[in-house]
Structure 1
Amino acid sequence: MGKGSAASVEVQEKVGLKKQITLFQGVAIIVGIIIGSGIFVSPVGILIHVKSVGMSLVMWGVCGLYNTLCALCYAELGASIPQSGGEYIYIKRAFGDYPAFICLWINFMLICPVGVAALSLIASLYILQPIFPTCLVPPLAEKFIAICIVFLLVMVNCRNVKWVTRLQVVITSSKLVALAIIVIIGFVYLGQGNVESFENAFEDSDFSAGAIALSFYSGFWAYSGWSYLNFLTEELVEPHKNLPRAIMISMITVILVYLVANVAYLGVLSPQLMTQSAAVAVTFAEQTMGMMQWLMPILIAISVLGTINGTILSMSRLFFIGAQNDHMPLFMSMIQCTFLTPTTSLFVILSLTLCFQTSGDIWYLIEMEGLGFATVLTMVFAGQVYLRYTEPDLHRPIKVPIALPAVLCLVSLAIVGLTFYQKVSESLTALLILAVGSILYLFGNRWQNKPKSLQSKINAVNLFLQKFFLVVTEDNPDELEWD
């Protein structure tokens, strides 16, 4: 690449990701990701399996505690290894190149695009529901709105990180307003003596391992997202302080909000009515809000947008870091030279999401996503234990008891095993995706001496995309030249 050309892009400041995410914005990102559609839907899943109000509240607390313990382990790793990339970096540090690639590939093919596609379809459904109150939402309209949602959020992420974080603060505030409406109305009903749902709260409880495990999946989904700030560590102001603070503030906030919201639901709805509802918050609004019931689906849609926005923001940084380690194509490791955002990684996420949005059975893919996340957690916690022995002198501003990641590793491994036992088809599909990824790893990463003809074609693709998106590698702003 030539330098000094008149057509070169001139940038006066260092090209790279900037530290501009504050503690408050970090909390907003985590809370905004976690409180998606889960609290508006998941109460049904937990209640169906454990069959009692008392046990369902216990499971909400247990799921919150489990996820908080996981978050504490991530806080230790994030504070001691303050690099963007989160679990990918931790696994690479512990186990090396190939396990780190597997973690990245799981996020790339199973967790990120599948989750964003599914959530965009859910948001689209809630947006359109008030327009089609007495009939099913047309599938074509649902997919069109879902595409528009993802495209718009990707464009905002490409333009300005500050816009993204400010948008996340606004969205997080909106979803807390929705939950505040539920809590206020629910406690008014409780104050009027509507406490029938809490009488004999543990009657007919199902304490079997299968029921508890299945209810745990619903709760785990509702709390998911606490790890995503670790992907943004290099853009977080004072990460060694603010990362663990943001994680703990967020988890405590979410647990309290979830428990209070569940009590409020049960102040209005009977357990039987809750289990018959597809979206308990919408049923709640139908019972209590009269002509304003249309507002609840809109607020839920906004809530889901926050999860999508936070996921896109975080995962684009993960793939950007992966590309810098030769685990993704070179063009994904580049920064847009004007806006200083990983634009090419964002557009790859957009492309994959659009592919998954055409799926006829998105929930089948979501089950694979759950398997992928449990697999990643198993690797992360095993690596954390391993690092305690291989790098005992590593500075750890936060240090959890070693038994904690060891136990969480075994629990996550058990979840993987249970999924293989109960969801054979999804598990085999996931294994096939991992096998394809392994082949690509051998081709792209391990095969260093490619024929010149093949390498020239790869270089041509990278150069075309570099010019098209006006992206450059970090600290090399003058390498982009128009021929």
Structure 2
Amino acid sequence: MGEGSVRNRKRLQHGQADQQSIQSEQPKTMNLQKKVGLFSGTCLIVGTIIGSGIFISPKSVLLNTGAVGPCLILWAVCGVIATLGALCFAELGTMITKSGGEYPYLMEAFGPIPAFLFSWTSVIVIKPSSFAIICLSFAEYVSAPFYPGCEPPVAVIKCLAAATILTITSVNALSVTLASYVQNFFTAAKMIIVIIIIVSGMVLLAQGNTQNLTNSFEGSKITVGGISLALYNGLWAYDGWNQLNYITEELKNPYRNLPLSIIIGIPLVIFCYVLMNVSYFAVMTPTELLQSPAVAVTYGDRVLYPATWVVPLFVAFSTIGAANGTCFTAGRLAFVAGREGHMLKFLSYISVKRLTPAPAIIFYGAVATIYIIPADINTLINYFSFAVWIFYGSTIAALVVMRFTRKELNRPIKVPIVIPIFMVLVSIYLVLAPIIGQPEWAYLYCILFIVGGLIFYFPFVHFKVKWAQKITKPLTMYIQMIMEVVPPEEDAENEK
């Protein structure tokens, strides 16, 4: 073989090596990456469900049931409902492996209008206002030690909440891996205080402090309206059971890890919630619990003295962990809605360097920041809270519908049909019972807001009026240049 041919072969080998090295430096696809495993998925469920609710106000469930026995039963019932709902969502998530939670399922079963109304209500109100409330709760706990004997100034709480939103949004926009590590850390931190409360409560019970648990059904008040309101409060504490469905595209082996995360995570939360309530009643009478502004803090003052500071610290950890999990998942809803053309197009774009849906996450954080401005955000949350179960029921109804209309779809998980039918009935009860039991104008306002989304749907989404596109195209171009984001790979191919 001659020198020339040897040199040519070496050049060819070097060229192939250089080409391979260049390809290895490039991302495999310009799409969301599968970086969330079983442990991170379980932490996301547990970390998002266990927020501030179980530490601050389990008294709402007791207030609407009237006695310790029905209160504890209802906490377990709420957990069972959450588990059944999560199993229905597991079938949907493994059948339609798209991120965005309820959105792609409603789109597949009922078409674009119900899917748009869900994204409209969730992206604009439900998700960001919930994020704002969690961050405000965190701000109150963190600022309280600096103002002993008095309420922290409202301006301080709101500024700290805004800073918290900015920090969490930045973390989630920068890296999926970093956000997962943050979630895992704060989930571990909140489990420490959960274990402390449960173990100390069991010790007190073993020492004979069972007087508050005897005759536990005495004084109970069981009414249709009261049970529905108690379920509302209990299920609010369990809210987050469907969070993995918002990031299905980022789950490693979703057919395995989605159901396993649910099976491990939610029963763990039920176990913790029931035992924590038992621990509370080992220390406080029902009357004392109802009078406590923050149940876990009162518990810490009586049991953990002089280490009472542990409870506020770890409640703050728990709250910020829930806020991080909420941001991680809700940003994906805005991303999917933008990808389907139901929100501004740039919300579906992905960061070139970070491979995160940065525009959607930043938009979500910006809207949440607006919701910390009003004086009483809790009123707004109450107005729209029952809307969540309208969409939960509609989504599970979509599962029933697709059993008959989309029989060809692969179903790695298939729950008995009686479970989704039961969950649809539960959703109908939860939506109608408060309206019948305690009718308020707020429920009508909520329905009008949901239906009012059609005012935007028909001109901007269905008919795609030209003057709207003239406004959004330059905006999209500037967002691309400033944030260095591009459409997902499949969208870019469709635009060519």
TM-score, normalised to structure 2, is 0.91
TM-score, normalised to structure 1, is 0.93
1:194 is paired with a residue whose SS is coil
Map 1:47-446; keep pairs closer than 5 Å: 47-421=62-436, 422=438, 424-446=440-462
2:240 is paired with a residue whose SS is coil
Q: Which amino acid aligns with 1:361?
A: D
Displacement of 1:272: 1.6
Q: Which amino acid aligns with 1:37?
A: S
Q: Which amino acid aligns with 1:441?
A: Y
Q: Which amino acid aligns with 1:306?
A: G
Displacement of 1:477: 11
Deviates more, 1:455-464 or 1:279-288: 455-464
Cα pair distance change 1:207/1:457, threshold 3 Å: closer
Q: Which amino acid aligns with 1:413?
A: I
Q: Which amino acid aligns with 1:450?
A: K
Displacement of 1:478: 10
Deviates more, 1:420-429 or 1:103-112: 420-429
1:165 is paired with a residue whose SS is helix
Conserved 8 A contact 2:60-2:233 = yes
Mapped partners of 2:463, 2:322: distance in 1 = 38
Displacement of 1:11: 5.2
Displacement of 1:436: 3.7
Cα RMSD for the two superposed structures: 1.8
Displacement of 1:53: 1.1
Displacement of 1:321: 1.0
Q: Which amino acid aligns with 2:192?
A: V
Q: Which amino acid aligns with 2:488?
A: E
Per-residue displacement from partner, 1:299-355 (whole Å, max 9, x unpaired)?
111101111111111111111111111001011010011011111111111111111
1:357 is paired with a residue whose SS is coil
What is the match of residue 6 of structure 1?
Answer: none
Conserved 8 A contact 2:232-2:430 = no
Q: Which amino acid aligns with 1:327?
A: H
Q: Which amino acid aligns with 1:391?
A: R
Displacement of 1:183: 1.3
Mapped partners of 1:475, 1:71: distance in 2 = 30
| 1:469 partnered with 2:483 | yes
Q: Which amino acid aligns with 1:135?
A: C
2:371 is paired with a residue whose SS is helix
Unaligned runs of 5+ in 1: 1-9
Mapped partners of 2:197, 2:374: distance in 1 = 33
What is the match of residue 4 of structure 1?
Answer: none
Mapped partners of 1:54, 1:301: distance in 2 = 30
| 1:44 partnered with 2:59 | yes
Displacement of 1:379: 0.9
Conserved 8 A contact 1:129-1:297 = no
- Correspondence for 1:450 among 466, 476, 480: 466
Conserved 8 A contact 1:34-1:225 = yes
Per-residue displacement from partner, 1:413-438 (whole Å, max 9, x unpaired)?
22222344435332233234224421
Cα pair distance change 1:210/1:436, threshold 3 Å: closer
Cα pair distance change 1:462/1:419, threshold 3 Å: farther
The share of aligned pairs that are identical, in percent, is: 36
Structure showing greater Rg: 2
Displacement of 1:14: 2.1
1:293 is paired with a residue whose SS is coil
Mapped partners of 2:63, 2:435: distance in 1 = 23
Cα pair distance change 1:399/1:71, threshold 3 Å: same
Deviates more, 1:325-334 or 1:187-196: 187-196
2:453 is paired with a residue whose SS is helix
Conserved 8 A contact 1:15-1:477 = no
Q: Which amino acid aligns with 1:127?
A: V
Conserved 8 A contact 1:11-1:337 = no
Conserved 8 A contact 1:85-1:231 = yes
Q: Which amino acid aligns with 2:179?
A: V
What is the match of residue 34 of structure 1?
Answer: 49
Per-residue displacement from partner, 1:131-174 (whole Å, max 9, x unpaired)?
22311111011101100111000000011101101110100011
Per-residue displacement from partner, 1:58-111 (whole Å, max 9, x unpaired)?
111111111111111111111111111221111111001111111111211222
Unaligned runs of 5+ in 2: 1-24
Mapped partners of 1:178, 1:75: distance in 2 = 30
